[in-house]
Structure 1
């Protein structure tokens, strides 16, 4: 398949909302997602996407920062591939493309969070060379 890997311009971020909605299993309203992404545009956020014949089939957010323990870093956020495109090597290709992209921006590391129950993603990220360094804690205010 002829996948196109691209950075999605901020003015086109609305096109990722349906995929993020599916990733969150509808737990966050699409209108709220739109508000949040409008705010994220003003931060160190970029979104990468995979297209197949102009159809957006995969996304991930990229948060750029400098971390005291690793230097310039990118954190992948809301990694999602449409179910019908999974288990075909696309995830591996996407991660390689992202690694190349962020390396050109002088990032020294890539990091991400994945849900505890998402066992297939754990295996995938292990196979991509990621290590578990700790736990992610959340407290809603």
Structure 2
């Protein structure tokens, strides 16, 4: 199969929502996700997609910033590959494309968070040479 990796146009950002809804272990309404993604598209955010023909089968958000400890970086967010396409090397190909893309934007590093219970992702990221530097904390206000 030939897959296409590309940045999703900001006016089509809503197309990622069905995949992101599968990712979340908790339920956020579609309306709230639509609102949040629309707002995210106005910030330092881009979303990469994996397409099989015209079907969106994978997504990865990219937040761009400069951090004192890592320089210009991309933070990978809400990575999801449709279950029917897992275990076939697509994630590795997608991340190779992402590494190249963010290097073209002069990024020096990539960061990410992953759910504690998502053991398959931990193995994947270890195999991609990511290192655990700390814990991610969240406090709802």
Give the number of aligned pairs.
141
Aligned residue for 1:114, secondary structure, equals coil
The Cα offsets for residues 40-75 of structure 1, whole Å up to 9 and x where unpaired, read as: 111000000000010000000000000000100000
Cα root mean square deviation, aligned = 0.8
CA distance in 2, matches of 1:111, 1:49: 18
CA distance in 2, matches of 1:129, 1:26: 29
Partner of 1:24: 24
Q: What's the CA shift for 1:25?
A: 4.2
Partner of 2:124: 124
CA distance in 1, matches of 2:26, 2:66: 32
Partner of 1:52: 52
CA distance in 2, matches of 1:125, 1:90: 14
Show the 5 A alignment for 1:86-105: 86-105=86-105
Q: What's the CA shift for 1:26?
A: 5.8
Aligned residue for 2:136, secondary structure, equals coil
The answer to which of 66-75 and 24-33 deviates more is 24-33
Q: TM-score, normalised by structure 2?
A: 0.98
